[in-house]
Amino acid sequence: MKTQDMREQLAQMGNGAHALATQILGNSEEAADAVQEAIAKVLGRPGSYDPKKGSLAPWFMRLVRNHCIDLLRRRRAEPLEADALPATGPGPEASAEAAQRDEAIRSALAALSPDRREIIVLRDYMDLSYAEIASVLDLAPGTVMSRLHRARMDLKETLTRYE
């Protein structure tokens, strides 16, 4: 893969990776740094990605996830709180109702366990396939559907508390 193509793909995946890292680390700024470090690692050794082993997205997400887990171990991060999620309020044109709905989703996600948050972000925010999710989370492909379904049902129930 050409480095320029890789850079473009990484830029497109940046937000998804940041959302995933935020769910793991519980802090938007720390997550941005973690993604930046992961990008620097990839660009420093672009040959470490082998296109024959699958597409770039799951490989990069796995790298970001592993990096975040390393950071958590090293920094002993605080558990995730709703306030730690990105304060990405809507622009002035967005309605207060939309802002409340976004806040409810963020709070409900933050109330879930980390493994449930991860799988929801990978599927519903990043649109990865079940096979790709299995590769990122190091799961057997057959377990992704059941785990994702439990996470979604949990989120659905949790969301009712915030709306």
Partner 1 sequence: MATEHVGELLSGYLDGELTQQQRQRVTLHCSGCEQCRDDLAELRALRERISGAPLSELGEDQWRENMNDTTVQLSRGIGWLLFIAGLLVAGFYALYHLMIDSSMSFIEKFIIFGVYGGLAVLLFSVLRQRLIERKTDKYKDVEI
Q: Distance of alpha carbon 112 from its chain centroid, rounded? A: 14
> What mask, x for binding partner 1 by CB under 8 A, covers residues 36 to 75?
x--xx--xx-------------------------------
Question: Helix or strand or coil: residue 15?
Answer: helix
Query: Contact between 16 and partner 1 (CB under 8 A)?
Result: yes
- Out of 55, 72, 86, 115, point to the residue binding partner 1 (CB under 8 A): 86
- Tokens representing 143? 């377990």
| C-beta separation of 119 from 148 below 8 A | yes
| C-beta separation of 71 from 34 below 8 A | yes
Query: Contact between 162 and partner 1 (CB under 8 A)?
Result: no
CA atoms of 74 and 111, how far apart (whole Å): 23
Footprint on this chain of partner 1 (rule: CB under 8 A): 7, 10-12, 14-16, 18-19, 22-23, 28, 32, 35-36, 39-40, 43-44, 85-88, 90, 101-102, 105-106, 109, 120-121, 123-125, 127, 129-130, 145-146, 148-150, 152, 155-156, 159
